[in-house]
Chain A
Amino acid sequence: MTPRGVLTGKHFLQGDLACAEGAIAAGCRFFGGYPITPSSEIAERLARRFPETGGIFVQMEDEIGSIAAVLGASAAGMRAMTATSGPGFSLMMENLGLAVMMEIPCVVVNVQRGSPSTGLPTLPGQSDIMQARWGSHGDYALIAYSPWSPQEMFDLTVHAFNMSDRYRVPVLLMADEVVGHMVERVIIPAEDQIQIWERKRPRSSPTETFKPFQADDPDLVPPMVHAGEGYRIHYTGLTHDERGYPDMSAETHHRLVTRLVEKINRNANHIIHTEHHRMDDARIAVLAYGSTARSARRAVNDARRAGIPAGFIRLVSLWPFPESQIKQIAEQVDAFIVAEMNLGQMSLELERHVRQPVVGVHHAGGVMMSPERILGVIQEVASRGNNHRS
């Protein structure tokens, strides 16, 4: 183990544990959480690992307290995160909005299970995708990633911390029970190979005229002041001006909310990550994310073997939606297929960006989607396309 506690080496590791190791490798030193299946292994691993790496593990009384404590720790300058599943994710929504408004970085892991309500605690789902985008009240933008393997549970956790600090915005890691509980090879790089992006910090010492929420840089991200640094800063969930003071005017409100959304939109190309496979000459694009993407990739390979020009697009990032990337793909394909473990959430989003038919392969959750099911839909769409052309 290195001084920072990084478990460099090749491991055979469960996704949830890989996520916990990713947090340690990223320099996260605060976890506030509440047990919930299928994410509890993340808390358990950190409860064991943090005391030996200088981290603070605190088990809170509920998920509301968990995210509030995470925001407090981050406000004091620590990298901080929590992990949960659907019911706990719902409880975190109000304070997720607070994180957006106060621009306090944090990482929230949601190992999704079958939902709504208590649903299927031990079985997979991908039905919190729209909640991830719109779950808290008001207009806002944040970042969400979707790991498809234990390796990515590690890699994207590290990346999530970097992005969260970079843009001062909550980053959601939208895993699912399959990737959370799957055990696979996970390679943890040497400590000096793991990038850590520092938060943008004030360039001047405290002065009367310092405006902590003044975003002068083109990225629209103001430098972050931590508690105890002498700036006597005010953070509030109320609409505030550049000084951080509450201001109930419509102008200030519009200016603030627009900047909070625009700082993500403007940097979308830096945030968005998609993976393409066999897309060069594809006429049918199959979109998927998380564990379902594993089946979708297989289905696309099978379709190719059957002579169908299918291609595979994996959304590594879910939000912001890869609008321009998708518009480019729409130039070359006849149809889109979206495979996801819900009744049509990302397909709904895709529909508003393309003119082609969007065919959903949907299932409410509880079982990983089979490649055969997706292949069947690819074949159906391909034959429909042929009929149309003939």
Chain B
Amino acid sequence: MATTIVADKHPLDEILRSDRMPHIWCPGCGIGIAMRCYAKAILDSDRPIDSHVVVSGIGCSGRVAGYMNIDSYHTTHGRGIPFAIGLKLANPNLTVTVFSGDGDLAAIGGNHLIHAARRNVDITVICTNNFNYGMTGGQMGPTTPFGAITSTSPYGSPELPFNLPYLLAAAGANFVSRWTTIHVRQVKQDILYAFNKSGFSFIEVLAPCPVGFGKYNSLDEGLDEMLLYKERCVVGEGLPLEDLGIDLREDQPIYIGHFIDRDLKPYQPTMLKASE
């Protein structure tokens, strides 16, 4: 007879608010995987846990701020980045990470995203991209691939999506990468790297959303989308950035990897006297 084994302790207990579990995410959702990568990166980082701050906007990914057992700010839709800028500038000793979704960061918060990259403020943005607005039930967004079916594009999305690495590179970010939720080591390593990377870092993590997006697009289970990543992902480092757009039609590759790692001058507020 099978016996149930209950672990007394989860390796991430210290860093997650276990009293907030169960989380709200659907079975097969990839956000938890990305959050785990972030949590692991914090534990592995050379900075004290209490110097880490997470800021989120609104949406499924926005809930990460509620589950991480660190100082956390769950702000308004699209405004996580400017809130994080205020935190970081007021206290440069903090390691500030914005963890939010593609709709929050690239649609309603798109203006803040590009200007933060241009300003090159020393924060890290983790953007889970699940191609849709999951929390509101699966509507199209700025990253929905052309032709994909969503509840507000029932005949296929008529819009071309953002190519986020290309956008962030053009805007001035110092570090830009893209992985998926099958690339957990790379995601964690990049987050860890971004903590110590001066200036603006942007890590895009493609994540399945079987309930919001997959069900309309023949990716009914989370596993289906994971298998799609496995089949189609190609390391695209060195490719022209404009070729990194995501197209789910036919057998188009999904390019992943590190795309930008440079040292443009990070933002420093003007100071005429030594700060106190």
Residues of A bordering B, CB below 8 Å:
29-30, 32, 50-54, 56-58, 60-62, 64-66, 68-78, 80, 94-95, 98, 102, 226-238, 245-246
Q: Is the CB of B271 within 8 A of A60?
A: no
Contact of B106 with A by CB under 8 A: no
Q: Is the CB of A72 within 8 A of B111?
A: no
Give Cα A50–Cα B271 distance, bound, in whole angstroms. 8
- In the A-B complex, the 10 residue pairs with the smallest Cβ-Cβ separation, listed nearest first, are A72-B86, A68-B82, A76-B90, A73-B86, A236-B74, A69-B86, A65-B82, A73-B90, A61-B115, A72-B83
Cβ contact within 8 Å between A75 and B89: no
Q: Distance in Å from the Cβ of A207 to the closest Cβ of chain B? A: 14
Judge whether B76 and A30 touch: CB under 8 Å. no
Q: How many A-B residue pairs have CB under 8 A?
A: 150
Q: Are A234 and B91 in contact (CB under 8 A)?
A: no
Quick one: given A65-B79, A228-B50, A232-B69, are A75 and B74 in contact (CB under 8 Å)? Answer: no
* B40 interface residue (CB < 8 Å to A): no
Q: Are B111 and A73 interface neighbours, CB within 8 A?
A: no
For A52, what are the chain B residues with a Cβ–Cβ distance below 8 Å? Answer: 272-273
Cross-chain contact B66 with A64 (CB below 8 angstroms)? no
Q: B183 to nearest A CB, angstroms?
A: 29
Alpha-carbon gap, A66 to B83, bound state (A)? 9
Are A227 and B91 in contact, with the CB atoms below 8 A? yes
Q: Is B74 a contact partner of A237 (Cβ separation < 8 A)?
A: yes
For A231, the closest partner residue in chain B by CB is B71
Nearest-CB distance from B202 to chain A (Å)? Answer: 17
Q: Is B168 located at the chain interface by the 8 A CB criterion? A: no
> How far is A229 from B91 in the complex, measured between Cα atoms in Å?
11
**Do A57 and B70 contact each other (CB < 8 Å), given the known contacts A70-B86, A95-B79?**
no
Highest count of chain A CB atoms <10 Å: which of B65, B78, B271: B271
Q: Could you pull out 5 A-B pairs where Cβ atoms are within 8 angstroms?
A: A50-B270, A72-B83, A74-B86, A77-B90, A95-B79
B219 CB to closest chain A CB (Å) equals 29
In whole Å, how far is A93's beta carbon from the nearest beta carbon of chain B? 11
Which residues from chain B contact A53 at a C-beta distance below 8 Å? 273
1/0 contact trace for B255-276 toward A, CB 8 Å?
Answer: 0000000000000011111011
Contact A60–B53 (Cβ < 8 Å): no
Q: Which residues of A contact B88 (CB under 8 A)?
A: 72
Q: How far in angstroms is the closest Cβ of chain B from A380?
A: 48
Assess the B20–A245 pair: CB atoms within 8 A: yes
Residues of A within 8 A of B270 (CB): 50-51, 57
Residues of B with Cβ closer than 8 Å to A? 17, 19-20, 50-51, 53, 55, 65-66, 69-76, 78-79, 81-91, 93-94, 111-112, 115, 269-273, 275-276
Q: Is the CB of B70 within 8 A of A30?
A: no
Q: A71-B83, A75-B87 are in contact. Are A65 and B112 (CB under 8 A)?
A: yes
Q: Decide if B83 touches A69 in the complex (CB within 8 Å).
A: yes
Output the least CB separation between B249 and chain A (Å). 34
Q: Which of B79, B89, B276 contacts A73 (CB 8 A)?
A: B89
A228 contact from B53, B75, B81, B272, Cβ within 8 A: B53
Asked if B271 and A77 make an inter-chain contact with CB atoms under 8 angstroms apart, the answer reads no
Judge whether A72 and B71 touch: CB under 8 Å.
Answer: no
B-side contacts of A245, CB under 8 Å = 17, 19-20, 66
Which A residues lie within 8 Å of B66 (CB)? 234, 236, 245-246
Cα A102 to Cα B79 in complex, Å, equals: 14
Instruction: Decide: B72 and A233 in contact? CB cutoff 8 A.
Output: yes
- A75-B86 in contact (CB<8A): yes
Nearest CB in chain A: distance from B91 CB, A: 4
Q: Which of A58, A69, A228, A230 contacts B94 (CB 8 A)?
A: A228
List A contacts of B78 (CB < 8 A). Answer: 64
* A258 vs B263: C-alpha distance when bound (angstroms): 50
Question: How many whole Å from A237's CB to the nearest CB in chain B?
Answer: 6
What is the CA–CA distance of A61 and B69 in the complex, to the nearest angstrom? 31
Establish whether residues A65 and B89, one from each chain, have CB atoms under 8 Å apart when the complex forms: no
Q: How far is the CB of A140 from chain B (nearest CB, A)?
A: 14
> What chain A residues lie within 8 Å of B94 (beta carbons)?
76, 227-228
A98 CB contacts on chain B under 8 angstroms? 75-76, 79
In contact, A57 and B273 (Cβ under 8 angstroms): no
| Structural contact, A30 and B86, CB atoms closer than 8 A | yes
Extra A-B contacts (7), CB below 8 Å, given A51-B272, A232-B72 = A65-B82, A68-B83, A72-B55, A80-B86, A80-B90, A228-B91, A246-B66
User: Given the complex, which residues of B lie within 8 Å of A60, measured CB to CB?
Assistant: 82, 115
The smallest C-beta distance from A239 to any residue of chain B, in angstroms, reads 12
Q: Are A236 and B87 in contact (CB under 8 A)?
A: no
- Shortest C-beta distance, B258 to chain A (Å), equals 27
Check A237–B75 contact: CB distance below 8 A. Answer: yes
Closest to A106 in B: B86
Tell me the minimal C-beta distance from B57 to chain A in angstroms. 10
- Which residues of chain B have C-beta atoms less than 8 A from A231's C-beta? 71
- Residue with the greatest number of chain A CB neighbours at <10 A, chosen from B69, B79, B273: B79
Question: Inside 8 A of A236's CB, which chain B residues have their CB?
Answer: 65-66, 73-74
- The answer, among A56, A95, A230, A234, for a CB contact under 8 Å with B269, is A56
**Which chain B residue has the least Cβ–Cβ distance from A66?**
B82
A68 to B55, CA, bound (A): 12
Evaluate contact between A64 and B82: CB separation under 8 angstroms: yes
Query: What residue of chain A has the Cβ atom nearest to residue B115's Cβ?
Result: A61
Question: Which residues of B lie under 8 Å from residue A235 when comparing CB positions?
Answer: 72-74
* A72-B273 contact given A60-B82, A95-B76, CB 8 Å threshold: no
**Complex interface: chain B residues within 8 A of A57 (CB):** 269-270
